[in-house]
């Protein structure tokens, strides 16, 4: 699926400055320009055989270079593009990205910089400038860049290029994300300022000390840079109800039974490899039906009593099954072979998009997307 390539691209950028507010003062612009010139000069001396430090990004022979196990791995830029260091526009520093030579030139020229900065004196505003090629500090100021809005990169890039490009299209920058929300004159009591970003949080995971999710189920926790994807129309919010066992039904203990889940507004039968593609692509919607493309799961947990009031332990359950088939007559079903021992149980659906992420709805206020019923086995 084409959409995935752009996320893979974000995984490569191992380190980046934290999301920053747009500063009022832009005195760093010229320094950024000089730093970019210095970096581009340094890149000229690099070859594919240059040693490097893990996580470092650079440009080698006009290609985007990432350091893996002490050696550069090169990725070609798009047709007509070269890899280059560009001055950041909204904050101190530089980014390493693919762009046309004209974009590189105009972005640097716009800063007023005409020569490389003095490596020593420019060390303070940007780590990148002080770093000779192949030092780890180079990576700390390197980033996959936002396409410079002044150069209309967004309108020149076409969709197929965009899905393999390391550059965020300027048309996709969510400028709303740069507001922290407290500008609202009548906030709810206790409402806090949001974390903000001017680059769609594309490098957010560099701010936490966690492994990347990378398509796997990391039980100890991870950070996942994949976008959330398509939000369905509110009228396509999925909904479900258990047909069997229905709420407060009794099933025969230790006897096979079939769970039946009626489901509406979920296009079922879409599930990806959970071991390699977990949360690895955005939520998708079928353009014809308007429904999220996904699948469901059911989980049965044993309770101490019907009126149990203590939360359950989500790592312990009696039965779990993905419902991967296409719904028949509006229902999904699965056989609970051997049934469950005598007792009281809670049965829940876990509706999911194709890559197993929970369903996202277009509005906050909506009825439950999942169903939960209680049943006895005796």
Ligand X SMILES: *[C@@H]1O[C@H](CO)[C@@H](O)[C@H](O)[C@H]1NC(C)=O
Residue 305 within binding range of ligand X, rule CB under 6 A: yes
Question: Out of 5, 76, 150, 182, which residue is the one contacting ligand X (CB under 6 A)?
Answer: 182
Residue 121 within binding range of ligand X, rule CB under 6 A: yes
Q: In whole angstroms, give the CA distance from residue 175 to residue 144.
A: 18
Span of 27-35, 96-104, 121-129, 219-227 interacting with ligand X by CB under 6 A: 121-129
Residue 160 within binding range of ligand X, rule CB under 6 A: yes
Question: Out of 235, 288, 313, 337, which residue is the one contacting ligand X (CB under 6 A)?
Answer: 288
Residue 178 within binding range of ligand X, rule CB under 6 A: no
Residue 161 within binding range of ligand X, rule CB under 6 A: yes
Helices (H), the chain: 3-12, 28-43, 101-109, 127-130, 136-140, 153-156, 159-162
Tokens describing residue 272: 């990806």
66: how many CB neighbours lie within 10 A of its CB?
A: 22
Q: What's the closest the beta carbon of residue 160 comes to ligand X, in angstroms?
A: 4
Q: In whole angstroms, give the CA distance from residue 97 to residue 276.
A: 28
Q: What's the closest the beta carbon of residue 121 comes to ligand X, in angstroms?
A: 5
Q: Which is nearer to ligand X, 123 or 365 (CB)?
A: 123
Q: Which is nearer to ligand X, 212 or 299 (CB)?
A: 212
DSSP state, residue 75: E
Tokens describing residue 41: 């000069």
Distances (CA, A) of 56 to 6, 16, 67, 143, 147: 19, 10, 5, 10, 21
- The enclosing H or E element of 154 equals helix 153-156
283 alpha carbon, distance to own chain's centre: 11
- The enclosing H or E element of 155 equals helix 153-156
Question: Could you give the string, one character per residue 20-49, with x where binding to ligand X holds by CB under 6 A and - elsewhere?
Answer: ---------------------------xxx
- The enclosing H or E element of 257 equals strand 257-264
Q: Which is nearer to ligand X, 114 or 182 (CB)?
A: 182
The three-state secondary structure class of 300 is: strand
Span of 104-112, 176-184, 346-354, 362-370 interacting with ligand X by CB under 6 A: 176-184
Residue 167 within binding range of ligand X, rule CB under 6 A: no
Contact 71, 52 (CB under 8 A): yes
Q: What's the closest the beta carbon of residue 107 comes to ligand X, in angstroms?
A: 21
Residue 118 within binding range of ligand X, rule CB under 6 A: yes
Question: Out of 185, 235, 307, 315, which residue is the one contacting ligand X (CB under 6 A)?
Answer: 307
Residue 79 within binding range of ligand X, rule CB under 6 A: yes
Contact 280, 212 (CB under 8 A): no
Closest alpha carbon to 284 in 205, 357, 200, 370: 357
Residue 342 within binding range of ligand X, rule CB under 6 A: yes
Footprint of ligand X (CB under 6 A): 47-49, 79, 118, 120-121, 124, 127, 137, 140, 158, 160-161, 180, 182-183, 193, 212, 214, 253-254, 286, 288-289, 305, 307, 309, 329, 341-342
């Amino acid at each position: 699926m084409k959409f995935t390539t752009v996320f893979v691209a974000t995984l490569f950028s191992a380190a980046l400055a934290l999301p920053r507010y747009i500063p009022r003062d832009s005195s760093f612009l010229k320094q950024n320009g000089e730093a970019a010139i210095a970096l581009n000069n340094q890149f000229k001396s690099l070859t594919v055989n240059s040693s490097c430090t893990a996580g470092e990004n650079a440009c080698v022979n006009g290609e985007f270079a990432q350091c893996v196990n002490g050696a550069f791995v090169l990725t070609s830029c798009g047709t007509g593009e070269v890899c280059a260091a560009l001055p950041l526009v909204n904050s101190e520093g530089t980014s390493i990205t693919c762009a046309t030579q004209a974009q590189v030139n105009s972005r640097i020229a716009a800063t007023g910089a005409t020569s490389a900065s003095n490596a020593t004196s420019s060390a303070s505003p940007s780590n990148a400038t002080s770093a000779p090629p192949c030092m780890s500090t180079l990576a700390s100021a390197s980033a996959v860049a936002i396409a410079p809005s002044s150069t209309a990169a967004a309108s020149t890039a076409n969709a197929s290029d965009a899905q393999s490009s390391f550059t965020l299209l300027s048309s996709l920058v969510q400028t709303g994300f740069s507001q922290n929300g407290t500008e609202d004159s009548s906030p709810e009591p206790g409402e806090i300022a949001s974390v903000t970003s001017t680059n769609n949080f594309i490098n957010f995971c560099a701010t936490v000390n966690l492994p990347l999710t990378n398509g796997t189920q990391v039980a100890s926790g991870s950070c996942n840079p994949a976008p959330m994807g398509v939000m369905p129309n509110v009228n396509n919010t999925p909904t479900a109800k258990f047909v069997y066992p229905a709420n407060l039904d009794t099933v025969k203990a230790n006897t096979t039974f079939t769970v039946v889940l009626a489901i509406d507004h979920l296009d079922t039968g879409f599930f990806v490899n959970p071991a390699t593609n977990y949360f690895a692509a955005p939520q998708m919607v079928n353009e014809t039906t308007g429904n999220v493309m996904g699948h469901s799961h059911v989980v049965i947990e044993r309770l101490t009593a019907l009126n149990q009031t203590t939360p359950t332990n989500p790592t312990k359950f009696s039965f779990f099954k993905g419902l991967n088939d296409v719904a028949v007559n509006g229902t999904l079903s699965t056989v609970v072979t051997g049934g469950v021992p005598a007792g009281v149980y809670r049965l829940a659906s876990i509706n999911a998009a194709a890559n197993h992420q929970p369903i996202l709805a277009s509005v906050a206020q909506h009825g439950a997307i999942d169903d939960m019923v209680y049943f006895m086995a005796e």
